Amino acid sequence: MSNSNLSGGTDGRTSDAYWKANVRLMVGCLIVWALVSFGFAILFRPLISGIAVGGTDLGFWFAQQGSILVFIVLIFFYAWRMKSLDRKFDVDEK
């Protein structure tokens, strides 16, 4: 059922370039992922504590709300960008 059905569908060079573009996009998204959660919500919270949000500071907002909203945007952004990368490198599913 599994590996016998796998096929790449492209030559090595295309898939290398495709993979590199994918990894670049992924790293960008993961930097944002880490920045809003580990950064703004935890480690850099004291640095942005001057910015007030509804009775508390921006770091608290990121910790209990902002990071989750950014996570959602990140996944859809990645899925959307990947779909056009799939098409650009002609490796999308028919």
Partner 1 sequence: MDQYYLNLLVVGATFALYIGIAFWARAGSTTEFYAANRGIHPITNGMATGADWMSAASFISMAGLIAFNGYDASAYLMGWTGGYVLLALLLAPYLRKFGSFTVPEFIGDRFYSKTARLIGVLCLIVASVTYVIGQMTGVGVAFSRFLEVSNTTGLLIGAAVVFFYAVLGGMKGVTYTQVAQYIVLISAFTIPAIFISLQLTGTFLPPLGLFSEFRDTGQPILATLNTVLGDLGFASYTGQQDTDLNLFLFTLTLMIGTAGLPHVIIRFFTVPKVSDARYSAGWALVFIALLYLTAPAVGAMARLNIIDTVYPNGVGEQALAYDERPEWIRNWELTNLIQFEDKNGDGNIQIYNDANPDFESRAQELGWNGNELEVNNDILVLANPEIAGLPGWVIALVAAGGLAAALSTAAGLLLAISGAVSHDLVKGAINPNISEKGELMAARIAMAAAIAVATYLGLNPPGFAAQTVALAFGIAAASIFPVLMMGVFSKTINNRGAVAGMLVGLVVTLVYIFLHKGWFFIPDTNTFTDADPLFLSVKSTSFGAIGAIFNFVTAILVSRATASPPQRIQEMVESLRVPRGATGASAH
> Closest Cα to residue 32, out of 1, 2, 76?
76
Please measure the distance between the N-terminal and C-terminal CA atoms of the chain and give it in whole angstroms: 20
Instruction: Please tell me the distance from the alpha carbon of residue 13 to that of residue 93, in angstroms, as a whole number.
Output: 19
Nearer to partner 1 by C-beta: 10 or 48?
Answer: 10
Among the listed residues 43, 47, 51, 88, the single contact to partner 1 using CB under 8 A: 43
- The pair of three-digit structure tokens given for residue 16, joined into one six-digit string: 């290398």
Which residues of the chain form contacts with partner 1 (CB under 8 A)? 1-3, 5-10, 12, 15, 18-19, 22, 26, 29-30, 33, 37-38, 41-43, 45, 53-57, 60-61, 63-65, 67-69, 71-72, 74-76, 78-79, 82-83, 86, 91-94
